[in-house]
Chain A
Amino acid sequence: MRLQTLSLPEERFKPATDQKPALHVRDLTVAYDRKPVLWDVDLDVPPSLVAGIVGPNGAGKSTLIKAVLDLVPHASGVVEIFGKPYRRQRRLVGYVPQRESVDWDYPITALELVAMGLYRKIGWCKPVTAPHRCRALEGLAEVGMAALAHRQISRLSGGQQQRIFLARALVQDAQIYFMDEPFAGVDAATEKAIIAILQRLREQGKTVFVVHHDLESVRHYFDYLIMLNMRVVAAGPVADVFTSENLRRTYGGRLTLLDRAVDAIGQGTH
């Protein structure tokens, strides 16, 4: 397939050179089974902010994160973290996958799960030792879960499970975080706790990307917003881009022609 024809030569774009963006994405196109899910995504997100990623179902929000993290193959595109290719900056990146993506009956405790965030630092073949467990416990304390450290993970509530996922990312000690729907199916207390953590991360100068569903809370939670519907409809400070016009273009039915075209491509090649 010639999806590459959608991407454009690199030199046409002059990236802002004065400040290196936390995340720089150029021409990112992702196709599952030859059917495009993300088209030509361009992003330049400055550091030290909390960015929301919103869009309707199937808009490619999770795919965007996974493509940035190199978890799904992309047809084309460049991803840079603080001005260098993603692969060389991996240790600066933390990730919170969707809660449903794992088997919560897996035989581990909350503490062991959080310690996974330290594995990269521990390195190949070396065991998890007491200092690491201490650090993991601190991580649990940061999300208010220290008391349940030794509980098996299936015996935690949905909100508690989400918190330990967050704690695992926190102990990764990254500069830039990607969180896939951390607010999905959590209780009010957990939601408040997560918000507090997001704010603390921003104060520490870190950059956080959050896939989000609830449009009502967008203004309160985020500084920056990426509105996605297979393509980036708008990206920028919340105050600038969170407009009814952009919302209509993101969620409205005007892109149905494009949907049909995508369908046609999917059927034509499958």
Chain B
Amino acid sequence: MILWTSLDTWIVVAGALAGAACALVGAFLVLRKTSMMGDAISHAVLPGIAIAFIMTASRAAGVMFIGAAIVGVITALLVEVVRRYGKLEHGASMGVVFTVLFAVGLILIERAARHVDIHPEHVLYGAVELVPLHVVTLAGFELPRGVAVLLVTLIVNLTVITALFKELRLATFDPGLATTLGINATAMHYLLMTLTALTTVAAFEVVGSILVIAMLIVPGATAHLLTRRLLPFLVVSVVVAVMAAFLGHIAAIGIPPWFGFEDTSSSGSMATVLGLLFLLAFLAAPEQGVIARGLNLAGLRLSIVTQDALGLLARAAEDPQNPDAGLSFADFCLVSRSPFTARAPALTVALLLLRLRGQVSASGNRYRLTARGRAEALRVLRAHRLWERFFYDDGQVELDELHAAADLLEHYTDAGLRNALAERFAGQSTDPRGRRIP
């Protein structure tokens, strides 16, 4: 039995706001292939936060944001300096910079703990249960402070991205063109890094840096599997992040009791749900999902075997010595150059499918083309002979090699390609062996 309190609502709201803010920025990080830079910056802001704590002896949001913005840019610059002078690859340079900054930050946080109630664990997991304790009034509404800060951050991110949508899109997809059009790709890079740092700082107090990193990278990556256009990309990212916040919290308080445990950290659980959503997209995305691609491949295999069978039947029909224009199961395998030699199961499947489609009829042991099957078979044969013609004329392939090459290509010949071929050989009516091109 789940007990839902106003605390739970605030946790979900905070998680969703943090997720949406991170996902918006993170989408661009993923598209620009700088995801790990998000990881690096969200580690590296720690010393900035700690110094702000120590200096102001409070959690004043304004100071923290300024500190974060500075640290974000400094991190990006440092990574560049280390890469250039240290001759390190980008990844190693990031690794050096963020681990050292994070280590320094941890030590400073210990010092800051004397002034502000914070511990290294808070950095990772956040202190979401403390959210409703500090309340501020924003535009007449009483909101927990953490939620208000996240709301402002989300609005800032939305505003910046809307205002610079065209520029960001161009700088992301074609930095070269962007530069020639006067958009400074480097400036865009540093802008994104600053936004990342701001968002991290706003979010880490509530949800912790683990979830920040997950929310920066995973929604964008999930969207990448689902769409190729930028606007839907951003929408999907945000939806995924918000869903994860909601489902994650429910899982955190709902699932452990099944096994006799108490509830668990909501941040960790939200990150896990993000992973599961990504897995779902990985498996079931309509075009790029593993399942879709598997089906696609299976469909292709199937269409290849059926077309092969049709092709053999069409050739049998052309054969004057074959009175009933049909083939027996054994004939299919024994005909010279048959693709079904030693592949009886494939042939069984192909014939079954063709009969279901009504393209082949069977009487006794013999298989024959129906009228519908003949039309399809002629299309296949035509593609095959056009390709043979093409290879012979343009590729100077030996006669006996022709069949194999054409055999492969006929299956990939769509209407456009077939027309292009036909146009190329407009005057030719026979294949290289002098047989008619249907």
Contacts and interface: CB of A to CB of B under 8 A. Distances in A.
Contact of B408 (A6, A105, A249): A6
A233 to B, nearest CB: 8
Contact of A261 (B396, B400, B409): B409
Contact of A154 (B87, B390, B407): B87
B362 interface: no
23 contacts: A2-B339, A5-B339, A5-B408, A6-B404, A6-B408, A8-B400, A8-B401, A40-B405, A154-B87, A257-B417, A257-B420, A257-B421, A257-B424, A258-B390, A261-B387, A261-B409, A264-B412, A264-B414, A264-B417, A268-B300, A268-B412, A269-B300, A270-B293
Interface string A236-268: 000000000000010000110110110011001
Given A254-B394, A261-B413, A3 B408 contact: yes
B413 A231 contact: no
A189 to B, nearest CB: 27
B414 A269 contact: no
A14 interface: no
A12 interface: yes
B417 A5 contact: no
A101 to B, nearest CB: 15
Nearest to A6: B404
A214 to B, nearest CB: 26
Contacts of A265: 408, 412
Interface residues of B, number: 26
B420 A260 contact: yes
Contacts of A39: 405
Chain B CB within 10 Å — which of A258, A260, A261, A265 has the most? Answer: A261
B417 A6 contact: no
A39 B421 CA distance: 20
Contacts of B395: 231, 255, 258
Interface string A55-73: 0000000000000000000
Contact of A255 (B394, B405, B408, B421): B394
Interface in B126-167: none
Given A265-B412, A268-B300, A260 B417 contact: yes
A6 B402 CA distance: 9
Interface of B: 87, 293, 296-297, 300, 304, 339, 387, 390, 394-396, 400-401, 404-405, 407-409, 412-414, 417, 420-421, 424
A231 B400 CA distance: 17
Contact of A40 (B87, B304, B396, B401): B401
B286 to A, nearest CB: 15
Chain B CB within 10 Å — which of A231, A254, A255, A268 has the most? Answer: A268
Chain B CB within 10 Å — which of A105, A257, A270 has the most? Answer: A257
Contacts of A268: 296, 300, 412
A231 B304 CA distance: 24
Contacts of A231: 395
Contacts of B293: 270
Contacts, number: 54
Contacts of B87: 105, 154
A269 B297 contact: yes
Interface string A1-35: 01101111000100000000000000000000000
Contacts of A270: 293
Nearest to B390: A257
B405 A12 contact: no
Contacts of A255: 394-395
Contacts of B297: 269
Contacts of A154: 87
Chain A CB within 10 Å — which of B395, B413, B414 has the most? Answer: B395
Interface string A209-242: 0000000000000000000000100000000000
A2 to B, nearest CB: 7
B347 to A, nearest CB: 15
A12 B304 CA distance: 26
B16 to A, nearest CB: 36
Given A8-B404, A249-B394, A261-B417, 19 more contacts: A5-B339, A5-B408, A6-B405, A8-B401, A12-B400, A40-B401, A154-B87, A231-B395, A249-B396, A255-B395, A257-B417, A257-B420, A257-B421, A261-B387, A261-B409, A261-B412, A264-B414, A265-B408, A268-B300
A269 B298 CA distance: 9
A35 B298 CA distance: 17
Sorted nearest first, the 7 A-B pairs with minimum C-beta distance are A105-B87, A264-B412, A261-B409, A265-B412, A5-B404, A6-B404, A254-B394
A265 B396 CA distance: 22
A270 B420 CA distance: 24
A84 B79 CA distance: 51
A260 B424 CA distance: 14
A255 B395 CA distance: 8
Contacts of B412: 261, 264-265, 268
B408 A2 contact: yes
A257 B297 CA distance: 23
B417 A2 contact: no
A157 B186 CA distance: 29
Contacts of B417: 257, 260-261, 264
B51 to A, nearest CB: 34
Nearest to A154: B87
B391 to A, nearest CB: 9
A1 B284 CA distance: 23
A238 to B, nearest CB: 19
A142 to B, nearest CB: 29
B292 to A, nearest CB: 12
Nearest to B89: A103
A28 B160 CA distance: 54
A238 B300 CA distance: 43
